[in-house]
Chains A and B, each alone.
Chain A
Amino acid sequence: MAKLKEPVHITFEELDEVVYLLKKVADYDLSGYSKSSLKRRVQRLMGIESMDLVDLKNAILNVEGFFGYFIQEITVNVTEMFRDPLFYQELKNVVFPYLQTYPQLRVWSAGCATGEEAYSLSILLHEENLLDRSFIYGTDISQQAINIAKKGVYTMAKIKSYTENYNRVGLNSKFSDHYTAMYDAAIINNEYRNSVLFSNHNLVSDNVFNEFQLICCRNVLIYFDKELQRRVLNVFYESLSLFGFLCLGTKESLYGQEINANFKVINKSLNIYQKIK
């Protein structure tokens, strides 16, 4: 293994300077992000690029296209298909029976990273004979992640670990029914790729763009401070139809948020909520 370079360190004040600069020159506001993890990501990027703080600020100001690269590198796009199999089980058993009553379903995977969550939802809807009447929107702030999501191609190594998740959900079909293997990668079947529209959407600054019966936003709120979480939860509330469902990550809840009063808890440990007013 190559010897790692000494890690780069900046202070929280220096992080604030970078955040301020980004807001000024690119109109991207990262001030509501969790500071410690954002700092780690910025330091990591500076390490990869062998940049000091001056270099970084210079690049933000002067290098064409640097900004997109910056967002790509500081966001955490780690994801899996059928991450938390119990969550998908609960969706199928508790939420989907309710969704059967709608003639048309719109589903939003917010912060979908490289698309795995959106495709998992598509497959699950298919298994419950709901896909024909459903349309899924997958959105993320990282254009690079969206580009990968659109392709729907994942390495066989990943497919192998997704298969383990899938098998734990306990569906009737085999995971391999849903993709076509091509040597060392696999492409998700056409019918799923055609059921999802991937696009760029920034939860910090963009607003409601449609009405949904199901919104999944998992492992995104942990990157935001309480205040930004409040803003984003409001966007979700406004985007949900009455009796629509909101699903957060296993470590994210509505607890301590005012908006809580408008939701009913469907599953406390999996953080599934239903809008009731």
Chain B
Amino acid sequence: MPEARDIILIGGSAGSYSLIINILESIPFNISSAIVVVIHRNDKYPTQIEKSLSLKLKRAILPAEDKVIIENNNIYFAPPGYHLLVEPNHTFSLDISDPVNFSRPSIDVLFESAAEVYTDRCTAFLLSGANNDGAYGIKRVEHFGGTTIIQDPLDALIDTMPSSAITTSSKAKVLKNKQIINYFCSIK
């Protein structure tokens, strides 16, 4: 697969898991962008999200690995216990520095670094969650000319995260779950 020129980021925390599954189920095969998911999870008890999702969705769901080139059509998950960043040469890098917003991986950290590298070819989705992670990241994506979409707090199981991002964002679209799924059904 060629190196991705476009990147779609999805950040979610408490209450976002089932929507993320629905999103991933709706993504067509052979899309020409890379998808990167950060979901807060406990690193002391390793889970096999990637493996079980790969089986369920019948496509490769990959853990984002250090210094690996970000490729089209791939769906990557940030590994638990590390921050995930994007390098200017379009590879991932991992970092074990202190949690941000009590989270590692932090949505802010990924969004900010991907925003700067992919600029207007970066699209970021922020979903349900119980803290403020992602709000700053959304601002940075907007600063670099990317597109931002926030789950409608009314649709979010826990609305702290989307509500807080809506307050600080200048141009995010607020979408219902159904509209979010429609978006992913139609990506190319």
Contact = CB atoms under 8 A, between A and B. Distances in A.
Interface stretch (B22-30, B92-100, B153-161, B177-185): B92-100
Nearest to A161: B44
Contact of A78 (B79, B96, B117): B96
A219 interface: yes
A36 B109 CA distance: 10
Contact of A76 (B85, B88, B96): B96
B88 A251 contact: no
Interface in B90-110: 93-98, 109
A34 B83 CA distance: 13
Interface in A196-235: 219, 221-223, 225-226, 229
Contacts of B136: 7
B168 to A, nearest CB: 12
B66 interface: yes
Counting chain A residues whose Cβ lies within 8 A of the other chain, the interface size class is 20 to 34
Contact of B96 (A7, A12, A36, A219): A219
Contact of B85 (A7, A36, A78): A36
Nearest to B66: A222
B67 A226 contact: yes
Contacts of B113: 36, 40
Interface in A132-165: 164
Nearest to B79: A251
B93 A37 contact: yes
B65 interface: yes
A29 interface: no
A252 B66 CA distance: 7
Contacts of A34: 67, 85, 87, 93, 95
A23 to B, nearest CB: 19
Interface residues of B, number: 22
Given A12-B88, A251-B79, A251-B82, A37 B66 contact: no
A28 to B, nearest CB: 20
A14 B98 CA distance: 24
Contact of B93 (A7, A12, A222): A222
Contacts of A35: 87-88
B86 interface: yes
A36 B66 contact: no
Nearest to A11: B116
Contact of B97 (A7, A37, A164): A37
A226 B95 CA distance: 15
Given A76-B95, A76-B96, A225-B87, 20 more contacts: A7-B136, A34-B67, A34-B87, A34-B93, A36-B88, A36-B113, A36-B117, A40-B85, A40-B95, A40-B97, A40-B109, A41-B97, A78-B98, A222-B66, A222-B82, A222-B94, A223-B93, A223-B95, A251-B94, A252-B66
19 contacts: A34-B67, A34-B87, A36-B88, A36-B113, A36-B117, A37-B85, A37-B93, A40-B95, A40-B97, A40-B109, A40-B113, A78-B98, A164-B44, A219-B96, A222-B94, A222-B96, A223-B93, A223-B95, A251-B94
